[in-house]
Amino acid sequence: MKKQIILCGMCIALAGMMGCNPTSDSVQVNHLQVEMKNNPQGIDVAHPRFSWQIHAGQPDLVQTGYRIQVAASADDLKAGKNLLWDSGDVKSDQSLWIAYEGEQLQAKKPYFWRVKVDTNQGSGKWSDVQTWGMAMLDANDWKGQWIGENALSNPGEKDQGDTRLAARYLRKPFQVSKEVKRAVLYISGLGSSESYLNGKRISKDVFAPMPSLYTSRVYYNVYDVTDLLQQGENLLGVVLGNGRYFSMRVPGMLTTGLPSLLAQLEVEYTDGSMDQVVSDTSWKVTSQGPIVANNEFDGEEYDARKELKGWNTVSFDDSAWKTADLMKEPGGKLTAQPNPNLAVQDTVVPVNVIARSDGKFILDMGQNMVGWLGVKLKGKDNQPITFRFAEILNPDTTLYVANLRSAKVTDIYTPAADGEFSWHPSFVYHGFRYVEVSGLDYQPSTTDFAGYVVYDAMSTTGQFESSNALVNQIHKNAFWGIRSNYRGMPTDCPQRDERLGWLGDRATGASGEAYLFNNALLYNKWLQDIEDSQNEAGSISVVSPKYWEIYADDVTWPSAYFYVADMLYRQFGDDSAIRKHYPSMKRWMQHMEEVALKDGVIVNDTYGDWCMPPEEQHLIHSQDPARKTDGAILSTTVYYDLLNKMVKFAELCGQTADIPAYQKLAAEMKEAYNAKYFNRETAQYGNNTVTANILSLRLGLVPEGFEQKVFDNIVRKTEDDFGGHVSTGVLGIQHLMRGLTEYGRKDLALKIVTNETYPSWGYMINRGATTIWELWNGDTADPAMNSANHVMLLGDLLIWYYEDLAGIKCADDAQAFKKIEMAPVFPEGLNHVKASYESVYGKIESDWTRDGNRLDWRVVVPGNTTAVIRIPKAYGVSVTSHPGVHQVSNTETELVVEVGSGEYRFTSK
Ligand code: RAM
């Protein structure tokens, strides 16, 4: 590890190699990305954007310039000739989202790029050569046809009710007789597919492609498969599952059609010629394979007796298969999928197997998780083994399935012979902690099973631990809950017959989640789902993609469209979503004005302060008018905030002509709202719920001078009426932790987090929760709506963990942590926090320990960023001039240290 040099008796220490002269060798550029992906295939934007990170051995590293070069071959690039773009030396500290400005990029072609940076510590060398591949840019580039099996041809299959359908297996042999330069597969297997070349999986992706509103948009994936080809005969094989294309419940959910495949393999030879292998009626298909049923709600049935040994290799005899049918086109625009597919991202080892007296076994994964159960068991010929999944176990060790509603969540494997087999499903996933295994005639052990955790391929960006075990456990539950509900869209829950992209659940949550996961590409994609699901009138479906079409015309759920776009800009520096969606956002704002603006306020509201803790434990929703917040308060405060967001967005998009109208409406609305809902005598909004007051306060509607009084009401209500407990549902909670802290009651915020009695996150954990529940009273409420794996009640908790407890926050006047505001609130009762966040500039760390009045705080600031570090004076830290330290100043209460990149340590004298 690096040497630490302690200066002036523990005032400040700087880790690094002090005293060496910077050389250009020490300047490193890495983490090179195109559209935030590493060497991606299938880029379909005309001006892809480049990003990188810079590092050096010395503190205070700033980029002063860059030069990017792009060529059509790696050799040209390295030789610096035939360049399609040479940015030249650009004097700039920009290292994120720099758009390509060279010659027009061609569909399907690969490109190569590199970058060289200048810094205040010297210039770096050219980076390693990076690449990206362009997607099809025109619908006419597609030569394939949609194919599949256009019939329900197996016993029991149905496209109505709880639908049932076998997987489709498709295969196509083709010849390769010349030396291959590059082979690329463009493929969309709806709803879900697994693809093989010569028997090998073409990628680790599962459930590909990602779900969409298929009539508006169909995603396809692009894979470089050069290495999988062989000389002579080759075989491309694809299995199709139902996914969301052939829906689980009909009617009730949107369904589009029978599974269908569009594929185009382009093989480029070294002699310049090319072959295309496209999906058409020369392919063969069967639905007589081993996956006899797959339904995301109900489970997968696998009959090993029907295995098609070697079906995805050249030698298989497909004479019993049918000619592929041409299928009805889904209708949506073919679009290169911008976000990664799902993949197996982690493995859980079960903790226990319980043998029940009825011969069944109960497997305990020790963690509520989402994905597959992988098994290695001994079976008997023709004797099905059944796996049923649940989140909760009844006291008598039977599965608690009431909260799964109609979802059967059952996988069945039928062995073809006596003996050992290994298996996991392909086209279904389950949300479960417990599995009931029946049909075995021996006691299995935990090592016979593995829990494969399946979610969108993305990196984990945040680590958080503190001196409080419950605070840490809540973070862990949140981590599991979030990854459980990333399924190519953010879902509400992973286990019951719902699993939908409900907007309201993510309005603020998405920002907190962004500290734990690099969710930028997923959320960017979801905004497109929301736009695709918007109707002609401008109404937003509060479930998007609209597998349930709900044009409720309320405000609080659609607000996620705006908040998530804003989050992508703030957290990742990506303004493209705001720019792209601005017209649709504007349309919705206008539409709401038309349908819901009455006497200056917005009156429509559907869900209220959803899932606030009810007065009686068996209730799902409170019936007590004193606890419920007036819907118009919810929608008006949030709409008002969106008007302000639109001002900011309009500025960013250069739509400044729109600004005055938004500002005018906002001013009028604030006035009308206060006239109607604010009691100046008591400083209360409406019936004085915490939610009514905190939304008004945090979203800027409180008349000047009344802020503290409104806040006092929030505190009184919380302490006197709720015993220091949370009293909000999913709306109030979005501002609760930050609001309490901002106005000086960080102690109450910490109390709410560390409560163990009802209602609290601690209450859930004490009752065995390993994720976050949908209801504060999820253990006692009606099972009709008590998922044990929702994320919406997290509100702004994770933001509070990282920003207020750890002090890892992007300054208000910056994006993407280019300028970091490090001001932990150091609440009494918490003596240690150690957190890190992998920002787009690099890793930010904050690790503080307090002992009485003594503080020891280590921070790491990544290259090309700066930080403002605020240390309460009470800790007696002083800082002298030091490399990396730009400025030291004092306020009445704080020592303010402005620094460049580097590692610093602040210790009490
Ligand atoms: C429930 C969902 C979701 C919520 C809606 C209003 O069915 O699970 O979490 O947003 O209702």
Residues 473-519 pLDDT 10s = 999 999 999 999 999 999 999 999 999 999 999 999 999 999 999 99
Residue 83: strand pairing partners: 71
Does ligand 1 lie within 6 Å of residue 884's CB atom?
Answer: no
| CA count, 13 A, side-chain hemisphere, 747 | 5
Separation in Å, CA 237 to CA 174, 263, 674, 784: 11, 11, 64, 42
Does ligand 1 lie within 6 Å of residue 554's CB atom?
Answer: no
Fold of 28-133: Immunoglobulin-like (2.60.40)
Out of 253, 542, 610, 771, give the residue to mutate to test ligand 1, the one with the largest number of ligand atoms within 8 Å of its CB.
610
Lowest mean pLDDT among 9-23, 680-694, 713-727, 776-790: 9-23
Residue-level pLDDT at 25: 75
Does ligand 1 lie within 6 Å of residue 505's CB atom?
Answer: yes
Residue 660 CA to ligand 1 centre (angstroms): 36
Residue 244 CA to ligand 1 centre (angstroms): 19
User: Could you give the CA distance from residue 849 to residue 806 in angstroms, rounded to a whole number?
Assistant: 11
Does ligand 1 lie within 6 Å of residue 504's CB atom?
Answer: yes
Q: Ligand 1, residue 493: give the atom nearest the CA.
A: 8
Confidence class of residue 881 from pLDDT cuts 50, 70 and 90?
Answer: confident
Can 142-288+306-339 and 343-456 be said to share one CATH topology? yes
Does ligand 1 lie within 6 Å of residue 607's CB atom?
Answer: yes
Q: How far is CA 879 from the centre of its chain?
A: 40
Does ligand 1 lie within 6 Å of residue 773's CB atom?
Answer: no
Residue 402 CA to ligand 1 centre (angstroms): 17
pLDDT tens across 530-576, in order?
999 999 999 999 999 999 999 999 999 999 999 999 999 999 999 99
pLDDT for residue 839 is more than 60:
yes
Residue-level pLDDT at 40: 98
Separation in Å, CA 221 to CA 185, 337, 339: 8, 6, 10
Does ligand 1 lie within 6 Å of residue 493's CB atom?
Answer: yes
- 399-400 and 462-466 beta bridge pairing: unpaired
Token look-up 């969540």 returns 409
Domain 142-288+306-339 in CATH 1.10.3720.10? The answer is no
User: Could you give the CA distance from residue 842 to residue 51 in angstroms, rounded to a whole number?
Assistant: 12
Nearest to 864 by CA among 120, 5, 40: 120
Q: How confident is the model over 623-649, as a mean pLDDT? A: 98
Out of 505, 634, 785, 789, give the residue to mutate to test ligand 1, the one with the largest number of ligand atoms within 8 Å of its CB.
505
Nearest to 218 by CA among 494, 456, 528: 528
Residue-level pLDDT at 24: 61
Q: Ligand 1, residue 792: give the atom nearest the CA.
A: 9
Nearest protein Cα to ligand 1, atom 5: 502
Q: Ligand 1, residue 610: give the atom nearest the CA.
A: 6
Helix axis angle for 559-572 and 576-596, nearest 10°, is 160
Residue 492 CA to ligand 1 centre (angstroms): 6
Residue 367: strand pairing partners: none
Architecture of the domain delimited by 462-805:
Alpha/alpha barrel (1.50)
DSSP state string for 681-697: TTTEETT--HHHHHHHH
pLDDT for residue 699 is more than 90:
yes
CB of 124 closer than 8 Å to CB of 57: no
Rg (CA), the chain: 29
Q: Ligand 1, residue 557: give the atom nearest the CA.
A: 10
Assign 790 to helix, strand or coil: coil
- Please list, residue by residue across 42-63, b when 16 or more beta carbons sit within 10 angstroms of its beta carbon and e when fewer do: bbbbeebbbbbbbbbbbbbbbb
pLDDT tens across 308-341, in order?
999 999 999 999 999 999 999 999 999 999 999 9
Q: How confident is the model over 611-632, as a mean pLDDT? A: 96
- 299-303 and 410-414 beta bridge pairing: parallel
Does ligand 1 lie within 6 Å of residue 904's CB atom?
Answer: no
pLDDT for residue 7 is more than 60:
no
Q: How confident is the model over 373-396, as a mean pLDDT? A: 97
Separation in Å, CA 201 to CA 205, 211, 261, 764: 9, 21, 17, 41
Assign 660 to helix, strand or coil: helix
CB of 493 closer than 8 Å to CB of 779: no
pLDDT tens across 88-118, in order?
999 999 999 999 999 999 999 999 999 999 9
Assign 2 to helix, strand or coil: coil
User: Could you give the CA distance from residue 210 to residue 221 in angstroms, rounded to a whole number?
Assistant: 9
Q: Is the dihedral of CA 814, 819, 824, 825 positive or negative?
A: negative
CB of 458 closer than 8 Å to CB of 521: yes
Nearest protein Cα to ligand 1, atom 11: 502
Residue-level pLDDT at 573: 98
Q: In the predicted model, what is the mean pLDDT of the chain?
A: 96
List the chain domain ranges. Answer: 28-133, 142-288+306-339, 343-456, 462-805
Residue 718 CA to ligand 1 centre (angstroms): 25
| CA count, 13 A, side-chain hemisphere, 804 | 25
Q: How confident is the model over 753-781, as a mean pLDDT? A: 97
Separation in Å, CA 733 to CA 248, 468, 728: 33, 21, 6
What does the angle CA 248 – CA 186 – CA 259 come to, to the nearest 5 degrees?
20
Does ligand 1 lie within 6 Å of residue 547's CB atom?
Answer: no
Fold of 343-456: Jelly Rolls (2.60.120)
Amino acid at the residue 601 = V
